[in-house]
A and B are shown apart, each in its own frame.
Chain A
Amino acid sequence: MSKYKEPTYEDLRKKYTDEEIAESFVFRSTMTVDEQAVADKEFRKHRFELLKNMSDEQVLHGELLRTKYLMKDYFNQNFFIDEYSFSNQLRKYISLLNRNMANFASDIDIHKTKLSRILNDRENPNIDLMYRLEQHSGKMIPATYWYKLHSRKLEEEIKRNDEKRMDEYKKVKNELKFKISAK
């Protein structure tokens, strides 16, 4: 154990109210090994009971929330990850719902062929679809999240598509030329 003389609850109580302590501390367990074993056994029973009794709705809600927060983490990074492309996240979303493609396409009022093309990266999603996905998720995953997934991939394509860049460069006339340049 630590060589420190760490403050106890009783020490802190001389200076703070219980409310203030709860707003400033969570203490390490001071249970003995035996007490801990009993407490853990009891807790495990509660925990697994809770997991077993989760409704399908609670599981879906939890998984969608997880998907949303993982997307949020991805947006805080500066790089593109294929797993977080629009199509891959939409595929993940549909699999969480446990619905087939045709039914899901009908839910969001698009043709199943169009949905298939988007999922296979042969067609770009439009903003209409992003709003519909927001509504479909019970507003859990905002349209802006879907837009950010799409725009991150577009940005990556713009950066990497040298062949297209060269083709388009050839079509430009009277490009600006500067004698000064950034050092």
Chain B
Amino acid sequence: MYICIISKGYMKLKHLPSDNELDAAISEVSKEDFNRIKRDKNFSFDWQFEETNDVYKMQLVSEKTEILGLMSLIDRKDEYRIHINLLETNERQRGKNNGIDNIAACLIAFAAEIAIKRGYYGFVSLTPKTKLIDHYQDKYGFRQYGRYLGIDGVTSQNLVEKHLKDE
């Protein structure tokens, strides 16, 4: 019998204006979600274009009508890595002191956890815009590998332990 263990991430987020902690969860985007996202003015990218990849959404546990962030992953088994193809947070939550903090960090930590579980030693890559390289390095600990940035090992573990809830 084949049993699929569903990968679900749980985390605590901070609502910046009130400083309150909020419980959030990451799960796979369904077919219905793609239609919803298409109509959602708070997301600007064409997420249906990502449908062939593994696309995840982040939502508050208490408020499941709003998607806080989306992430599209490609499993590069041949190179033992998970590639973040696209990530976007809800427009309402972007910017300093505006909305909920650390949405992207939690999504990247979730990608790192997947890369650890698939036996890639936590290797997660992305293709950065040149002007953002320093920020990805400072904020998440990415290192440069040619045109790509990557994290692995203890850096990935630290991201997971900082942002995703343990038992």
Q: Which residues of A contact B (CB under 8 A)?
A: 1-4, 6-7, 9, 16-29, 31, 35, 39, 42-44, 46-48, 50-51, 54, 58-59, 61-63, 65-66, 69-70, 72-77, 79, 81, 142, 144-145, 148
Contact = CB atoms under 8 A, between A and B. Distances in A.
B152 A26 contact: no
Contacts of A48: 79
B167 interface: yes
Contacts of A3: 46
Given A6-B46, A62-B121, A73-B117, A23 B147 contact: no
Nearest to A58: B153
A22 B137 CA distance: 10
Contacts of A16: 94-95
Interface string B133-149: 00110010000011110
Interface in B54-99: 71, 79-81, 84-89, 93-96
Would you call the interface of chain B mostly helix, strand, loop, or mixed? mixed
A96 B139 CA distance: 33
A127 to B, nearest CB: 17
Contacts of B122: 62, 65
Contacts, number: 146
Given A27-B129, A47-B80, A144-B167, A74 B147 contact: no
Given A18-B131, A65-B116, A26 B146 contact: no
A74 B5 contact: yes
Given A39-B147, A69-B113, A73-B117, 20 more contacts: A1-B49, A2-B46, A7-B45, A19-B96, A19-B135, A20-B95, A22-B104, A22-B132, A23-B139, A26-B85, A27-B128, A28-B86, A39-B127, A39-B148, A61-B153, A61-B154, A65-B116, A74-B5, A76-B8, A77-B5
A51 B80 contact: yes
A66 B95 contact: no
Nearest to A81: B3
A28 B117 CA distance: 24
B35 interface: no
B166 A72 contact: yes
A29 B116 contact: no
Nearest to B145: A46
B89 A47 contact: no
A79 B157 CA distance: 27
Contacts of B105: 23
Nearest to B113: A69
A73 to B, nearest CB: 5
A77 B3 CA distance: 11
Given A6-B45, A47-B145, A75 B167 contact: yes
Nearest to A69: B117
Given A24-B94, A46-B146, A70 B117 contact: yes
B75 to A, nearest CB: 14
